[in-house]
Structure 1
Amino acid sequence: MQGILDELASHELEEDERYLLHPANTSSPRDTIVSFIKLTQRFHDLISSEDYSPEDRIEVMHLFGEIQDFFDMRNVPPSLRADYASAAGIYLREIIDRVGLPDLDHIPGEIAMRAAIAEGQPARWQIPGLPFEIARVNSGPEEGRYLFTENTLLEAKAVFQRVREMPYVSEAAKDFYYYFFLTPNPIIPAEWIDALPDWMLRDFYEQTVWQWFSMFAVILIAAFSVWLLRKVLKRISRERSALFRHLCMLIVPSSAIGVSLLGYNLIDDKIFITGEVFQVVTYLLYLVLLASGIIVTFVLGTVICDLVTRSERFEGRTFDSHLARIGIRIGSIIVCLGVLIQGLQQIGFSLATVIAGAGVTGLAVALAAQSTLRNIFGSLMILIDRPFRVGQRIIVSGHDGTVEEIGLRSTRIRLLNGHVTSIPNERMADAEIENVGLRPYIRRVSSIHLAHGMPIEKVNRAVEIIRKLLEPHEVSEGGIHASDDPNAPINYADFPPRVFFNEFNRDSLNILMIYWYHPPEYWNFLEFSQRINEEILEKFREEEIEFAFPTRTVHIAGTKATPFPQIEGEEK
């Protein structure tokens, strides 16, 4: 036993073996054991050397990652594989150095394993006296390789705790545990560590006390720096534009990512926290990175919305800017979901579990937020169909006003009385909407009532007067009305004014007046109508044309009917 360990440990490595850039030989249990002893021996020699320097750290970190090639890591989260494997490798090497291994001839090689498989025996080998097995991987990218089983990975620490006080059978990698778990990065001078009081060097849960203090100091400083930056940026951006505030919001989670990675590097590479404590730190780091990444993605979508809608391309195209804003927002939400799924997978959740959970969660959210989802889809239908735009006057469900905002949940309308009403987009998408703001003109239909006894000559004269008042005053060449003509707004080729004696009412003769005012400027239309009304009154007064007033003739039973009074000008 002593001979095999010493022989493997003292084996002179070639230059290409020293850096172990080629894959570990795991074609049989014997090859796996030999490669594992070589790699861990080199690892031990580097970190235990008095000349351990920052330059050696490069090779140490490479070996740190290579150890996972000896373990079946299929069920271990990708973010924790290197740390799980390195810790289990140190435990396993410490156990082997105390318990020992059988002679190489008694460890099955590639030929022996092929023969065993041909005989129907399981393709695995157990280290005598230990619950550790090397088994052949039958699926996945590691298929055909002989690796330490997942059970070995999980039980290595517990077994080490039981044999920790046993004497070494081989001292080739003596105190491997101490050098790996309790020794800092060589960048920290050894004199500083030696100068610490004894209580600071005590081992507490696989870390020394000074490592615990250093780790918590790094975490507190990182958290305080992000908090302080957030307070400063919030104060600076308080009265600035929305784009500036969103850019400041983008800085905070971005800085949290940078600070977290810097703190992680200090804890991992400088303070050299290891084992289960480091696994907890890694979990926390990934959670911070995941949350910060989602926030960065979402806020970045908001910044892109601001930049896109402020561009000249969308100037005067409010509806298109709203559609672009909602599209970018939905896109950022989809990217956030992708980041969340990828992050959960890195932490250790299987893709199938994440997708199944997302499906169940999505179903629950859909059931709980049916109204909200209907409103969101309603807003999309409004933006795609474009029945109205921001700034247009509409009439919907008895509400008459100007559209102020089209949101994801509702549409805000400023009513004519100054009040604001919010109508859910679900109702807006299904409602009958009268878009007053899209009218090309304002049509006036007016009835002018003349007295019943008025002679036909005066009725025709009244029609002639009104037509004359509505005619253009000036006509340029080609028949186009002069732009400075006061009647030009109602005299378009396809929409000339119309005046007719069209009806006998119960108490009047009716003259119908219709004209179309262009453009549809309401206040200008009212001013124009007032001028026409004043001119009609003035002309009718000059021509002694009387307006009819509502009258009612009552006949009392048993009395003689009174003849209808004659109107002045009527034939006698």
Structure 2
Amino acid sequence: MRGGASPTGASWRGVRRRRRLFSFRGVASLLLPIMAALCLVAPAIAAERPLAPLDVTSPRATLRSFLDAARHVEAAFVAYRAAPDHEKLRAFDRRVARTARLFDTGALPHAVREEVAAAAVGFLYDILLRLPPEDLSLALDAPQEGDPPIQWRIPNTEIAITRIAEGEQAGSWLFSPRTVARLPAFHAAIIHLPLQQPSAVENWHLAQSNLSGPFFYGEAIDRLPAWMRQARVLDTPLWKLVLTVTLWVGAALLLLIWLQVVGRSTARATTPIRALARLSAPVLLAVLAIGVRRFVLLEISLSGGAFAQAERAISLMVVYVAWSWAAWLVIIGLVETVASLSLSRDQAYHANLARFIGKVLALASASFVFVLGLNEVGVPALGLLAGLGFGGFAIALAGKSTLENLFSGLTLFADKPFRVGDYIHYGEGAGVVENVGPRSSRLRGLDGTLTAVPNTELVTARITNYTARTKCLFLHTLGLRYGAAPEQLERLLEGIHATLARHPMVEDATGMPRVRLTGFGDSAIEVEARAHVLTTDYATFLAVQQELLFEIMRCVADTGLRLATRTQTVLIGRDRGDEAGRRDDDDTPRPG
């Protein structure tokens, strides 16, 4: 047995040898691809230091930093595509944002810098993946002799990296603003060429713009019609554009519905409650804008295109409009709440002054916030305001009347010729003052019409304030028929004086009331009755005046006199001397 090999043992050893060989080959066949993948990915993962600053000390260092950062972006994209979730999407966005720091976007508006820089990452990575290897190798490995120039280009391209001269990034080498602006054109010119470097994605710009959040990723997008998935508008997939616009329209409709609800539910509410309810509208607008923007960012994932930049700017501007609106309502609400507590006449005056100043402050605050928003989205409103020069002088001249009315309103409050609620007469108009605003004052006429009078007109006009009087003047002239005896006139004067003096609303003062025979008119003997009625209310004065006039009529009747009617006698005659003269001068022959 020892000298010979047992067939059974040999067979068993052969089987074990084949099993070992099979197991080795099987394990090797499984491990080799994994090890190869790890060899490709492990260096990038090992080399990633999220907190380490990017090397921008030289043009080549910046280019090398971009390629390293782009590989991390690629690894994050592959991980998200394999198992989509929000954490992986945020990791991908963080890597894109880190890579985007290598682009000089300082000249762009704050609102679109992130969008433009994120799109530039995809554009530039696509371009570099298609450059000939020798050009890229020359750009990375060629020795640098002496100090680099202010601007450095990748060989055989117009892609420039420039040195930042001032600011927080002074001394850093970044891809130039001109390069950032021209990357879409460079990308369009080279994207048809085959890849020269291995990459998990053939077209990174297209992959970025088609990327969506976990909610829409996969089957949700596959259910859409092919034309909606493939069509692009403003460098954005059509389905993303339609969904984004739908969200904003829905937010606008929700805000309009809320405004209707607030208006109806607070119609009879107190001033503080109404002010708080109105303030909810801009708060809701800000919440809706932030919510829509958040959903667009996390689920729709707009990236880079013109529509994405416009949506970002609009969403930011809507938030600033909401805060501007809120600033206006807060100031107006506080002023109206304080004004609603005013009871006395002096308090009412100060309340209206507070309203006036509050409107000016509210307008200034709202305008300031709105201008900040315009500045954020790229409209240099602050710079325009600061450097208008001659244009500012022209605008000031154009707004001369507005400024005049504003200062005239302040003059009216300082001079106090009238207050809200006073009945005044100015120029050719009259009415009850209902409001004094920054531009005009509103007066309610006796016929119920409302007239807006510019403040400058009131400042320069002669104003009679009937409400400010302490008493009302009763002044009437009686016309008596000629033929009255002096004794009758004396009794009438005494009777009218007694009637006026005993009325409780008539002032009893030195020389008042006064009844005098004042003259002989063309058709009547004139008697004047003058007295002061102790009231400032015009309706009360009219009632007292009516009583006194009836009593005067009775006095006239008791003395046997009669009131005269105004008459005029016209005598029509012919001057015979003139007629005879005309006859003598007439040489016309007469018959017979």
Q: TM-score, normalised by structure 1?
A: 0.71
1:144 alignment partner, one of 171, 183, 203: 171
Alignment of 1:80-479 (within 5 A): 80-99=112-131, 100-102=136-138, 104-106=140-142, 108=144, 115-116=146-147, 122-171=149-198, 175=202, 177=204, 179-186=207-214, 188=216, 190=218, 192=220, 202=230, 204=232, 211-227=237-253, 229-231=255-257, 233-234=259-260, 237=263, 241=267, 255-276=284-305, 279-287=306-314, 289-290=316-317, 293-294=320-321, 297-298=324-325, 301=328, 304-305=331-332, 308-311=335-338, 312-316=340-344, 317-350=347-380, 354-355=384-385, 374-407=404-437, 409-416=439-446, 421-444=451-474
Q: 1:517 matched to which residue of 2?
A: 533
SS at match of 1:402: strand
Q: Distance in 2 between matches of 1:469 and 1:32?
A: 107
Q: Distance in 2 between matches of 1:93 and 1:342?
A: 35
Q: Distance in 2 between matches of 1:449 and 1:229?
A: 71
Whether the 8 Å CA contact 1:405–1:411 is kept in 2: the answer is yes
Change (3 A) 1:91 1:303: closer
Whether the 8 Å CA contact 1:396–1:432 is kept in 2: the answer is yes
Change (3 A) 1:161 1:445: closer
The one-letter code of the counterpart of 2:321 is I
The one-letter code of the counterpart of 1:37 is L
5+ residue gaps, structure 2:
1-37, 567-592
Whether the 8 Å CA contact 2:375–2:382 is kept in 1: the answer is no
Whether the 8 Å CA contact 1:379–1:410 is kept in 2: the answer is yes
Change (3 A) 1:359 1:327: farther
For 1:109-154, what per-residue CA distance to the aligned partner results, in whole angstroms no more than 9, with x for missing partners?
Answer: xxx6xx427xxxx333222222122221112222111111122212
Whether the 8 Å CA contact 1:246–1:299 is kept in 2: the answer is no
Change (3 A) 1:468 1:201: closer
Change (3 A) 1:469 1:83: closer
Q: 2:99 matched to which residue of 1?
A: 67
Whether the 8 Å CA contact 1:46–1:52 is kept in 2: the answer is no
SS at match of 2:137: coil
Q: Distance in 1 between matches of 2:127 and 2:361?
A: 53
Whether the 8 Å CA contact 1:257–1:289 is kept in 2: the answer is no
**Structure 1 residue 426, shift from structure 2 partner:** 2.6
For 1:278-300, what per-residue CA distance to the aligned partner results, in whole angstroms no more than 9, with x for missing partners?
Answer: x4233244235535743663476
For 1:188-226, what per-residue CA distance to the aligned partner results, in whole angstroms no more than 9, with x for missing partners?
Answer: 554555677876765857978xx5214412422430452
Q: Distance in 2 between matches of 1:532 and 1:165?
A: 105
Whether the 8 Å CA contact 1:184–1:270 is kept in 2: the answer is yes
Q: Distance in 1 between matches of 2:285 and 2:408?
A: 37
SS at match of 2:536: coil
**Structure 1 residue 105, shift from structure 2 partner:** 4.8
For 1:61-94, what per-residue CA distance to the aligned partner results, in whole angstroms no more than 9, with x for missing partners?
Answer: 2223222321221212212212222222232233
**Structure 1 residue 438, shift from structure 2 partner:** 0.3
1:30 alignment partner, one of 41, 60, 70: 60
For 1:497-551, what per-residue CA distance to the aligned partner results, in whole angstroms no more than 9, with x for missing partners?
Answer: 5467988855899998765433334454455566667778889999x89899999
Whether the 8 Å CA contact 1:319–1:390 is kept in 2: the answer is yes
Q: Distance in 2 between matches of 1:102 and 1:234?
A: 67
The one-letter code of the counterpart of 1:223 is V
Q: Distance in 1 between matches of 2:235 and 2:514?
A: 103
Q: Distance in 2 between matches of 1:352 and 1:525?
A: 58
**Structure 1 residue 413, shift from structure 2 partner:** 3.6
Change (3 A) 1:499 1:447: farther
SS at match of 1:116: coil
The one-letter code of the counterpart of 1:87 is A
SS at match of 1:24: coil
Whether the 8 Å CA contact 1:250–1:300 is kept in 2: the answer is no
Moved more, 373-382 or 187-196: 187-196
Q: TM-score, normalised by structure 2?
A: 0.69
Aligned length: 513
Q: Distance in 2 between matches of 1:136 and 1:213?
A: 41
Whether the 8 Å CA contact 2:103–2:174 is kept in 1: the answer is yes
Q: 1:78 matched to which residue of 2?
A: 110
Moved more, 308-317 or 529-538: 529-538
Q: Distance in 2 between matches of 1:281 and 1:241?
A: 41
Whether the 8 Å CA contact 2:63–2:140 is kept in 1: the answer is no
Q: Percent identity?
A: 23
Whether the 8 Å CA contact 1:92–1:160 is kept in 2: the answer is yes
Whether the 8 Å CA contact 1:378–1:429 is kept in 2: the answer is yes
Change (3 A) 1:180 1:534: closer
Q: 1:490 matched to which residue of 2?
A: 507
**Structure 1 residue 31, shift from structure 2 partner:** 2.7
The one-letter code of the counterpart of 1:226 is A
For 1:298-326, what per-residue CA distance to the aligned partner results, in whole angstroms no more than 9, with x for missing partners?
Answer: 47635753563354433455444443333
Change (3 A) 1:512 1:360: same
SS at match of 2:424: strand
Whether the 8 Å CA contact 2:412–2:459 is kept in 1: the answer is yes
**Structure 1 residue 385, shift from structure 2 partner:** 2.9
- The CA RMSD measured in Å over matched residues stands at 4.8
